[in-house]
A and B are shown apart, each in its own frame.
Chain A
């Protein structure tokens, strides 16, 4: 992996986290349409955070280019280049999210306009993610040109998205708790939401094991040679990173199980901490996984 690829590690992890978090917030909002939950009072801050993460990721991508000040040229070949399409839809998603944020600061409840703006932004976000995936489905790169890539990218969006929203939820509720003298654990709606998000996060972690299995599958079947070379890189050159990633997934899963079960020995202040720890562990694990994604690339042929 060349040093410039680290910019792509940061870009893909952060933007996928932003897509996942936005979609999670939108779905939660619709599921709790009639309930007065912290979701509504803190939503604008959540969207502001998503926009900031998205913007940070897109700025990081500039450092992948040897001519970052000419990055605007990256949208020229929209006719055939998935990268051009990715840039366009990423930009559209940013604009729509910004517009949504502006309207949320002006309104206390979502109007019909805001509602449709939100779903349009969601469609743009999904298209942005699809374009990201398509960039890497290259016949010349067998380790990328498989089901592992869409599963890995969508999995990152799911894991960081739901856990990121869970962290925001507990931080928001804790902030209210400190003012209202209530506990997170006793707030049934928040706890149910948190548990649902944690369960989804656990599903995402299990899905990542499928990705790793797909990446290592060529070891059992020697053809094509490039895929085998990629699998060997994972198990020989980067075995330490792979093991670290898997261990982090196990630690994160343990934290999430604690949140789902909700047994914290009556010390409810540990619930937010456990959620935050799970998110941070998954974030580090995602960075490891994305590093392995770029590092395992081997072109077909001689």
Chain B
């Protein structure tokens, strides 16, 4: 299986949230659920710091959401994309409980769970990759195969406040914040 993956360089992210908007526009996401979320982290490490992390479904190698779903509505494709079959979802919301990344969201409009699907319709049609990555103005958010992304220098699957990557082995790699002190 050629696993697709996201790449996030936290040092390049300005928190503009273009990725969030591009995702909502591309996938017609209603007001409320956010398939991609830009989160802001603040702290103090001998001086204050702040950075942004763009997070969506990480299409994990161990999709605990799929394991937890009682109706079998969540499946992992051969390219690694984890998708929700809305025709099978019964809204039990166990996927939301099981996911460490807060990816599955409940839609009040449809009464079903929904989440990032890696813009699988664009991947399948060969018209491009995820809308969020292609819209990012600073190239903070990119995509590729997991092999390609994992080979980038200085990447890690988890850092700082992010969950332990061993829980689900997310198909995402980050370049964590590099603090520069004067």
Contact = CB atoms under 8 A, between A and B. Distances in A.
- Interface size class, chain B: 20 to 34
- Interface size class, chain A: 20 to 34
A301 B88 contact: no
Interface stretch (B14-22, B23-31, B96-104): B96-104
Given A66-B90, A76-B72, A138 B112 contact: no
A145 to B, nearest CB: 10
Contact of A66 (B91, B162, B167): B91
A302 B100 contact: no
B74 to A, nearest CB: 9
Interface stretch (A79-87, A100-108, A173-181): A79-87
Interface stretch (B63-71, B134-142, B146-154, B173-181): B63-71
Q: Chain A: interface secondary structure?
A: loop
Given A70-B90, A74-B92, A140-B163, A87 B112 contact: no
Contact of B69 (A77, A138, A141): A77
Nearest to B37: A302
A80 B97 contact: no
B5 interface: no
Interface of A: 4, 64-67, 70-71, 73-77, 80-84, 87, 135, 138-141, 225, 297, 299-302
24 contacts: A4-B93, A65-B90, A65-B91, A66-B111, A66-B112, A67-B89, A67-B90, A70-B90, A73-B71, A74-B90, A77-B67, A80-B67, A83-B68, A87-B70, A138-B68, A140-B97, A140-B100, A140-B167, A141-B97, A225-B161, A301-B101, A301-B162, A302-B41, A302-B162
